[in-house]
């Protein structure tokens, strides 16, 4: 514990997941405490045809949101 579930669109590489697992585990331990080895992370890939926002499937959206600048930048 903690246990982290991350729902995301498919298409990330194994290296991206590796990096994400390290970065999120570190972020969790740094801010919430607990032990690094106790952090479980589960990635759930959700196809764009299975995710709707505002009543519209993402597979039907023609534009993807542009990257948003991080806060403070």
Shortest distance (Å) from residue 63 CB to its own copies: 13
Size of the site for its own copies (CB under 8 A): 61
Tell which positions 16-35 bind its own copies, by CB under 8 A: 16-35
Q: How far apart (Å, rounded) are the C-alpha atoms in residues 40 and 36?
A: 9
HSE, CB side, 13 Å, CA atoms: give it for residue 28.
19
Q: Is position 10 an interface residue for its own copies (rule: CB under 8 A)? A: no
Q: Give which of 2, 42, 46, 48 is closest to 21, Cα–Cα.
A: 42
So which residues are the catalytic ones?
Answer: 2
Q: Which residues sit at the interface with its own copies, rule CB under 8 A?
A: 1-9, 12, 14, 16-46, 49-60, 65-71
């Amino acid at each position: 514990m903690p246990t982290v579930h991350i729902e995301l669109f498919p298409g990330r590489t194994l290296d991206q997941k590796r990096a994400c697992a390290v970065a999120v585990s570190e972020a969790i331990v740094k801010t919430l405490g607990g032990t690094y080895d106790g952090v479980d992370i589960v990635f759930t890939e959700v196809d764009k045809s299975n995710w709707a926002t505002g009543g519209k499937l993402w597979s039907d959206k023609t534009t993807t949101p542009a990257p948003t600048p991080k806060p403070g930048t």
